[in-house]
Structure 1
């Protein structure tokens, strides 16, 4: 029997692997939203994706690792679909920060993102190795975008020369993440706008220009 596809070409193993990986990542995201992280299993992911569980173990050591790569893929898809070209720099720092934080609120409110992000955050807190990958691959690139925009504002004279850029990022994202993770209050655009105004209002030399 011929191993060629109907078009006469031999099957492409790389393409087949890509399809399988994508199916696994999509299955992990869908299932964690349906059953939660504690009930999520490799067997269930494999069944949903239509692959053998050994296929998953060939690429990932645990369900947490699958979920991390699924979240990275989801973040990449969101940037592509939104036409993401990098952190905006219109010259108006407050407006740029508000725009990005509003988008973050919208992402946190998306069920497709929320369940996987919560599960991954909880898993990373108890698994040091996963936590290190979570920070390095998901958090640090995001922090770097904020820091780059704040650095440009500092170079433009909008922020004090000695301002701690990482501390500013933490001041912006910390309260937002806390409110989202613990559900202490609704996440709104008004909240993030006020957060930006408060943080920038407490930084010496912020001119708003």
Structure 2
């Protein structure tokens, strides 16, 4: 079975569903072009707490996209923190930026939405298109999906008020910079 290019993880699939909604009246004709732009000419400039910014190049013109995301309310953030801590403790040895796929299911079970609905996103683009959201916004979301697939913790960081990265480290791994080379081998 071939792995999906966009939404290879449950974390990315949640974001794909924001723009590929099955409740729409028909297919969105902008999405194939947006996927092509995400593959070839979209670069995420910044992605963090409550905001994603990207440059999308189309026909030689660079369009600047900004997407503001709603932050989870305090109660939800506390529950997210509890669920993340529990999942990380149960899955020792995760690399930095990774989260277990089961955690996304736990979020759904607790009615915590990882990705906001498309109507909850406040987006802007420097293009002249009258259609909103424009193809550049969709391309930015697809590019974001790829980042989230690579580093699932980003999905949580985007909606959290604290900009701290989720620490998931292997307890059996030690950075070489922590060793003093002169003292390592002794005298």
TM-score, with length taken from structure 1: 0.23
Q: Which has the higher contact order (CA 8 A, sep 6+)?
A: 2
Bigger Cα Rg: 1
Task: Choose between structure 1 and 2: higher strand proportion.
Answer: 2
